[in-house]
Structure 1
Amino acid sequence: MIVFLLLAAFIAPTAGEVPRPQLVLAQRQSGPKPEGKPPRDDFDLLPKAATPSAAALARQRELERQLAKRRTMLFYHQIGGFLTLGSLTATAVLGQLDYRDKYGGGGDVGTYRAWHRWVAVATTAIFAGTASLAVFAPVPIEKPTGLDTATVHKIAMTVAAAGMATQIVLGIVTASKEGQYAQRDFALAHQIVGYTTLAASLTGFTVLTF
């Protein structure tokens, strides 16, 4: 009996001693916690762009359509410019030959008269069609006003258009003065305006091409 009491006293903890399992549990609870994931540093400073509305998408599609139409019309306008310059040069050359034939001692046989007339008619039609492509091309984005190559082109072609209109009038008046002394004066004016028109057209063509 005494032996059992001694064993119990030896095994049992004293009053001030904390049981080992509780001490281990306390150590586990008070130990360092595992580190979590680091905070993200790839957040966006600006808010995300709002989804465009149906009206905005429709305006964008219309703008793209107008720009495509403008590019197409100006492409054909450029082709018309080549044709206009070529036909206008031919008209001036034929007009010069006709002038020399009639007033420069060529015998006034009229070799180039019909050629000059019909090439001039064709040139006028080509010029009008080419100008229409530029005038009626849509302008979806307004361009600020300023002196640039496009402005010089417009000024030069406005002068050329005025010259073409003047040439039509002078050509009719010159033909109506057949047999009169004043016909040569009108023919000379017709010739001068013709070269001026050619020079203006060449200027307008050059500033955009080169």
Structure 2
Amino acid sequence: MKHRLLTIFLLFLGIGSVQAQNPTATPDSVRTVADTTAPATTDADALLADLTDSTEAQPLLPRKMIFTQRAFWGPKGLLRITNAAPLTAEGRAKELKIRRTMLVTHQIGGFVTLAGFVAQGFLGAKLYNAKGEDYVRVKRQHENMATFINISYGTTLALALTSPPPAVGSRKGFSSIKLHKYLAIVHLTGMVATNILARAIQTNYELKPYHRAAAYTTFGTYAASIIALTF
């Protein structure tokens, strides 16, 4: 009898150990790990949402723009109020492509204008020593070249002033782009002075040295501005 009771007791222990080793069972530790993964997924989604919101909150236009860009492309610029270029993310992406095309054309125009300056320098030096019919012929060439330079210079300048603003504002500190802009102020002033003195020479030949100085200053600063931006 005792042996039968002992056998039954051991049989119950064996069944219990098999159930404890059953791989289909779900231990508490497994349930605990499964529970802790759910909040992690939620936190990641929330973080991604925050990043998306912060990206969408970025301004579409830089804070600082030159006055011509603000007049055309600013929040209340001409192209905005006429709805010709609505201020949207998709619109800004297209504007940046337009800006790149305009600035590339601006660079090409800069080299064309520089070549005109070089040719005008030779004609100007020749004009100062010409006499008689040679003077009339060279003067006509000098005036035609001056017209070409004015058109080329004005077009190149307009491309830079009216291009859409960049995606971000200018960086702090000195840069080649800022040097290019500072030199642009000098050669623009020299360009205006050169044209004014060119007309004044017709009635006052004593202004020739000033006209030459203004022309050389314009050429020098213009060439330097191209070199600063190219190299």
Same fold (TM over 0.5): yes
Q: How does 1:24-173 map to 2 (within 5 A)?
A: 24-31=11-18, 32-34=20-22, 47-48=44-45, 49-50=48-49, 52=52, 56=56, 59-102=88-131, 109-139=135-165, 140-173=167-200
How does the TM-score come out when normalised to structure 1? 0.75
What's the secondary structure of 1:87's corresponding residue? helix
Check conservation: 2:187, 2:222, Cα contact below 8 A. yes
Check conservation: 2:127, 2:135, Cα contact below 8 A. no
Match of 1:5 in 2: none
Identity %, equivalent residues: 24
How does the TM-score come out when normalised to structure 2? 0.69
Check conservation: 2:106, 2:160, Cα contact below 8 A. yes
1:201 aligns with 2:222: yes
Structure 2: gaps of 5 or more residues: 58-86
Give deviations 1:71-116, integer Å, cap 9, x for gaps.
Answer: 11111111111111111111121111111215xxx88632310000
Alignment coverage as a number of residue pairs: 187
Check conservation: 2:180, 2:228, Cα contact below 8 A. yes
Q: Point out the structure with max Rg over C-alpha.
A: 1
- Decide whether aligned partners of structure 1 residues 20 and 207 sit closer, same or farther in structure 2, where only a CA change above 3 A counts: same
Structure 2 distance, partners of 1:156, 1:67, is 25
Give deviations 1:10-31, integer Å, cap 9, x for gaps.
Answer: xxxx267327466424312134
Structure 2 distance, partners of 1:77, 1:91, is 21
1:190 aligns with 2:211: yes
Query: Could you say which structure has the higher helix fraction?
Result: 2
